[in-house]
Structure formats: C-alpha cells, structure tokens
A and B are shown apart, each in its own frame.
Chain A
Amino acid sequence: MERRIYLDNSATTHTDAEVLQKMLPYFSDVYGNGSSQHFFGREALAAIDEAREKVAKAIGAKPSEIYFTSGGTESDNWAIKGAAHALRAKGNHIITTAIEHPAVIQTCKRLEKEGFEVTYLPVDDEGFVTADQVENAITDKTVLISVMTANNEVGTIEPIREIGAVAKKHKVLFHTDAVQAIGNVPIDVVKDNIDMLSMSAHKFYGPKGVGVLYKRTGVKTERFMDGGEQERNMRASTLNTPGIVGLGAAIEKAVRDMEKNNAHVKELRDFFVAEVLANISDVRYNGTKDTSRRLASNANFSFEYIEGESILMSLDLAGIAVSSGSACSSGSLEPSYVLLSLGVPIELAHGSIRFSFGKDNTREEVEYTLTKLYEVVARLREMSPLFKKFEGEKKYV
C-alpha cells in the first residue's frame, strides 16, 4: 500500500510527538508508585499533580475536581451510575439524548434494569436537542441530565451552556460527555454550568487508556472502583503516571492550539464537503450545515445506491482510512442509531461514511481522497442493482 491517509481522527488520534517525549521518562526513570511516600513515589506524584493542574486549567476547574480514569467509557459509567446510585433516595429519573455514545446509552440501559426511568430525548434532523426539550422532560424524580457536548458521528455541538443553566435552575445534576469536544470546542465548566464531564486523552493527541472525570466540588457519587485510596478515595487503582503525564501535556497543547488547529481542519473539511457535493450526484450531507455548530473536523455523507462498508473497504484498498455507519461495519443488523435518530432513511444510513480530519492532514491528502472517492463511488454504483445511470451535469456518476 503506497498511501496511508488517516481520516478517522474521531475514532482516535496519534499521540503527538512532543507529548510522547514528555511521557517516556515515566515508564522507566520515574517509575515510582504515586502513592508511595518515598522519593520515587513523590517524583511520580509531582508529575501527576502537574498534569491535574493542566487539566483543571484547560476546563476552568479546580485541581481537586479532576479524577483520572482509564478513559471516556469509564468516566461516563462512573458519572452516571455513581450519581444515580448516590441520589437513588431522591429520585429515579434520568434525562439523556437518543444520540449519545454507547458508553452513556448502555449505562442508562443498565440503570433501567435497576428500576431507573430514562428519557432519551429525540433530536432534530440536524442532530440538535434544545434546552427547552430538557426542561420539559424534568420531573420531581429527575436526578441527572446527561447530554454530550459534541456528537461523534455527525459532529453536532449541543447547546450545553443552556442545558447546564436549565439543570442549575431545577437543581438537577448535569453531566456532559465531552470526549469529542476537548481540544475542538472551548469549555468552561463554571460558565457552562457543568457538574460532571468526561474526556479521553487519545481523542486529543494523547495516549490511549487514560481519561478524566471532572466532578464539581460537592457533587456526590459512589466510588467507582473499590480498593486502595487513590484519587481521594474515589477511584482505586495505581495511578497510570505515563498516561496521566501524557494527558496533561496533550490537553495543554490542544487547548493552546485549538484556534489554529480548528482553522486548518475546517479549511480541509469545507473544501472536501464542497467538492463532494459538487461532483457526486445523489449524496446526502448528514448533520448540520451550520459550521459554527459542528465540529470542524467532521463530515458525514450518505451515498445513495451503495453500501457503506463496501465504500470503506474500497477506500481502505486505496490507502484511505474512514469509518462507516453501516450495519455491516458494526457487526450488528442495524445501521447507525445516530443517523436514524436524525431521520436519515435506513437505506441511506447503510450507505454512510464519516470522514474526520486531523491537525496533520494536508490539502494534498484531501485531493487524493476526493479522486479515489469518485472512482470508488462510480465503481460501486456500476455494480449496484439500485443505481439508475445519472443523466446530469455532475462529473462522477
């Protein structure tokens, strides 16, 4: 394979070279257990404390409100189950949306089996939920609202500040899964009225296997992992020093470079979207066209008459990595529930492809991708029993 073009930056990003360099000493030289009292341990703890301060600064929190976890999924599980269980005596109702990540949806499903009632708010055809919808769903039994900051499939940025304000007004806890948003969307947990927030380092050029749960001072949750007294006795397990150092370095850099990275990625994305819509017939751009309310990195299309996994595998053969919302690529029978929630017809959901751009992608890579995409769409359409030859001005079928 001659080319290796990575357009799946919402799935994961590479660890930034500078970030990696900062992590390396903590595997071998500074290897102490951060909970040990001797100097080996104190050296590790100092690095962990520094990372904690960087995370706190990046989202406007206090260092004492930052808890290190194994990633976004753990943070979501902890926030939702921890708060629900701690508040069980007060009520059993949770409000979330139909387009959350499985880490939130499946956690809510688990709580339903325990007797909780969950409202999954529908979204509009662009993928948005409104603060009014949230407010109207609140009952005297509501103990938690969980709405993602930005969606992983279609990149919609939800109105979390308004939702946070509604939560505050009704004295209900507000959690947001900000896994896709950190480094892409400015977040201030105080101004945005966020009580709990989940993030994952590998989405912003940090390492895999490390994340954060921000928990506002005074928010009560159950402890997540039983064992030692790490993380103020709330999350047992030896602290992952290299990972935590990497997360701290990555978030500092991601927030510092946010404007620059967003401008670059947005230029690539906007060029790509315009070219696809101009040159390919019968294609649907999923999500919102309002670029101020969409992650700069995200483009999601449904190509009519053809199926997403075969597009994905064809691009793979051409050295281009993307992801698909088709059932075939997920291993289930249903295509993306996110696209279906936006009202995308089921056959078009099967034909969806997500392109997610990153800070290191180049214009030349995007141009190459366009050329290959035209070939792939034309080839698969020729092969499709649904395709009627397009008689029009567009160049590529």
Chain B
Amino acid sequence: MYNKKVMDTFANPQNVGYIEDNDGAGKVGNATCGDIMEITIKVKDDVITDAKFRTFGCAAAVATSSVATSMVIGMTVDEALKLTNAKVVEYLEGLPPQKIHCSVLAEEAIKAAIEDYRKRQSEKK
C-alpha cells in the first residue's frame, strides 16, 4: 500500500531527535488516536537553521515528519508557515487515502513549533 519513496523514507528518516536548546517546540496528536508528532526548531534571524522530530505513529507518520522537517530547514518562519500537507504528500509521491491525516499532522506540528517560537519572541520584547 505504501510506495517505495514512503518506505525508503520510513527506513531512513532524516532529522530524528530533539533539539535541547530549541527556539520553538510543537507537539500534536495523542496516543489514543495512535499518532503523536513532536517537532523542535532552531531559528536564527527568522530562518529555521535546524529541525528535528520524534514521532509515535505509523510508517506514514514517520515519513511525513522526516519530509516536513527537511523541507523547513533553510526556510524563513513565514515561508515555513506556508508549508502545506499537500506539498509533503507530493514530495512522497503520494500516500494512501487513509494516511493523508499523517501529513496534516506534520503540517500542524511545524505550525505549532513556529507559534511557540513566536510566542517566546514576543515574551522577550
């Protein structure tokens, strides 16, 4: 049911981990639903310099986490906010219909991390 690109990404995901001195952290989903995604980002001059993820979930959840974090590294936070789940799915050359929600979760986790970053920025001012 998964294509080769998804399986390859699941087998060798990028950016696994947790940035201890992160500038923003987002966690979405819950164990009851079977999916939790946690993304931490490092930001310098409004550009995302690093992103890492930890995921409890299926192969699609791991693959979308890997792709979403890879995509936002090097983007400004404004650019990263425009990342859509459709772009993640496109990069993976498609997901089974019942797995699309995993890509939505990846988009939401990135947004949550950026929101957290912005909140911390405004608190500093």
The answer to whether A386 and B36 touch across the interface, beta carbons within 8 angstroms, is yes
Partner of B36, one of A327, A328, A331, A385: A385
Asked if A386 meets B31 with Cβ closer than 8 Å, knowing A306-B56, A317-B7, the reply is: yes
How far is the CB of B1 from the nearest CB of chain A, in Å? Answer: 9
The answer to whether B27 and A385 touch across the interface, beta carbons within 8 angstroms, is yes
Task: Report chain A residues within 8 Å CB of B18.
Answer: 385
List the A residue with the shortest CB-CB distance to B18: A385
Whole-angstrom CA separation of A382 from B55 in the bound complex: 9
Asked if A350 meets B31 with Cβ closer than 8 Å, knowing A383-B55, A384-B55, A386-B36, the reply is: yes
Q: Does B11 contact A (CB under 8 A)?
A: yes
Whole-angstrom CA separation of A335 from B57 in the bound complex: 13
How far is the CB of B6 from the nearest CB of chain A, in Å? Answer: 9
CB contacts under 8 Å to B, within A373-397, are: 382-386
How far is the CB of B91 from the nearest CB of chain A, in Å? Answer: 19
Q: Does A309 contact B (CB under 8 A)?
A: yes
Q: Does B32 contact A (CB under 8 A)?
A: yes
Report the interface size class on chain B: 20 to 34
The answer to whether B98 and A386 touch across the interface, beta carbons within 8 angstroms, is no
The answer to whether B16 and A383 touch across the interface, beta carbons within 8 angstroms, is yes
Partner of B58, one of A309, A346, A384: A309
Whole-angstrom CA separation of A255 from B55 in the bound complex: 46
Task: Report chain B residues within 8 Å CB of A326.
Answer: 34, 58
Whole-angstrom CA separation of A310 from B32 in the bound complex: 16
Task: Report chain A residues within 8 Å CB of B54.
Answer: 383-385
List the B residue with the shortest CB-CB distance to A330: B98
Task: Report chain A residues within 8 Å CB of B7.
Answer: 313, 317
Task: Report chain A residues within 8 Å CB of B108.
Answer: none
The answer to whether A307 and B38 touch across the interface, beta carbons within 8 angstroms, is no
List the A residue with the shortest CB-CB distance to B2: A313
Contact with A along B26-70 (1 / 0, CB 8 A): 010001111111100000000000000011111111100000000
Task: Report chain B residues within 8 Å CB of A383.
Answer: 13, 16, 54-55, 62
How far is the CB of A322 from the nearest CB of chain B, in Å? Answer: 14
Task: Report chain B residues within 8 Å CB of A310.
Answer: 10, 57-59, 61-62
Whole-angstrom CA separation of A308 from B35 in the bound complex: 11
Tally of contact residues, A, Cβ under 8 A: 23
The answer to whether A328 and B16 touch across the interface, beta carbons within 8 angstroms, is no
Q: Does A17 contact B (CB under 8 A)?
A: no
Task: Report chain A residues within 8 Å CB of B32.
Answer: 346-347
List the A residue with the shortest CB-CB distance to B30: A347
The answer to whether A328 and B34 touch across the interface, beta carbons within 8 angstroms, is yes
CB contacts under 8 Å to B, within A333-349, are: 333, 335, 346-347
Task: Report chain B residues within 8 Å CB of A347.
Answer: 31-32, 34
Task: Report chain A residues within 8 Å CB of B56.
Answer: 305-307, 384-386
Whole-angstrom CA separation of A329 from B11 in the bound complex: 17
Contact with B along A342-362 (1 / 0, CB 8 A): 000011001000000000000
Whole-angstrom CA separation of A314 from B31 in the bound complex: 20
Whole-angstrom CA separation of A92 from B92 in the bound complex: 52
Task: Report chain A residues within 8 Å CB of B33.
Answer: 327, 333
The answer to whether B59 and A313 touch across the interface, beta carbons within 8 angstroms, is yes
- Please indicate which of the listed interface residues A310, A335, A346, A347 has the most CB atoms of chain B within 10 Å of its own CB: A310
Task: Report chain A residues within 8 Å CB of B27.
Answer: 385
How far is the CB of A171 from the nearest CB of chain B, in Å? Answer: 44
Could you jot down 17 A-B contacts, CB within 8 Å?
A: A307-B34, A307-B35, A307-B61, A313-B58, A314-B10, A317-B7, A327-B33, A335-B34, A347-B32, A347-B34, A350-B34, A383-B13, A383-B55, A384-B54, A385-B27, A385-B54, A385-B55
* Further 7 A-B residue pairs, CB within 8 A, beyond A317-B11, A328-B58, A385-B27: A317-B7, A327-B33, A328-B34, A346-B32, A383-B62, A385-B36, A385-B54
List the 8 closest A-B pairs by CB distance, nearest first: A328-B58, A347-B31, A309-B58, A385-B54, A385-B38, A350-B34, A313-B59, A384-B56
